[in-house]
């Protein structure tokens, strides 16, 4: 199995932030530092976890290492995920194509990165 590239991990995190996690988290910090294009560094991403009433529960910072470990844990079947999402992630990593990862799958990756399991959805 191929190791996910930094660009792949960044793009999965951005997909989650821009559409996948919004039903359980509010994005407080989401800013870029430095260069543009392919040279973009890891963005600073802070998520505020919300309860069912929309009340803040806790704050999490999403790191590149956490996203990488989440992807690897899912692909090693250490975390349960439906077969379609698993196969999509496997193919996306093998082809280094984060464009294959939709908001639902990106959300699952972020949840595993933050909680070591899929808690929501």
Domain residues for the domain of 44 are 6-114
Q: Please tell me which residue, 110 or 40, carries the higher pLDDT value.
A: 110
Q: Is 121 part of any domain?
A: no
Question: 1-48 pLDDT, tens per residue?
Answer: 789 999 999 999 999 998 889 999 998 876 655 555 555 667 778 899
pLDDT of residue 45: 86
Question: 61-103 pLDDT, tens per residue?
Answer: 999 999 999 999 999 999 999 999 999 999 999 999 999 999 9
Work out how many domains the chain is built from and give that number.
Answer: 1
Q: Please tell me which residue, 114 or 18, carries the higher pLDDT value.
A: 114
Torsion, Cα 121 30 115 76, to 10 degrees, reads 90
Q: Is 120 part of any domain?
A: no
**How many angstroms separate the Cα of 68 from the Cα of each of 6, 23, 51, 54?**
8, 23, 26, 29
Q: Is 20 part of any domain?
A: yes
pLDDT of residue 69: 97
Q: Is 119 part of any domain?
A: no
Q: Is 26 part of any domain?
A: yes
Distance CA 120, CA 90 (A): 22
pLDDT of residue 38: 57
Q: Is 89 part of any domain?
A: yes
pLDDT of residue 34: 53
pLDDT of residue 35: 53
Q: Is 54 part of any domain?
A: yes
């Amino acid at each position: 199995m191929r190791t996910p590239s930094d660009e792949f991990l960044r793009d999965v995190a951005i997909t989650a932030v821009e559409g996948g996690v919004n039903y359980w988290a509010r994005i407080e910090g989401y800013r870029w530092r430095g260069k543009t294009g392919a040279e973009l560094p890891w963005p600073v991403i802070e998520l505020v976890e919300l309860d069912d009433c929309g009340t803040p529960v806790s704050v999490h910072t999403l790191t590149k290492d956490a996203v990488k470990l989440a992807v690897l844990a899912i692909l090693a079947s250490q975390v349960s995920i439906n077969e379609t999402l698993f196969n999509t992630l496997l193919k996306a990593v093998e082809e280094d194509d984060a464009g294959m990862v939709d908001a639902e799958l990106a959300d699952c990756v972020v949840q595993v990165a933050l909680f070591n399991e899929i808690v929501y959805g």
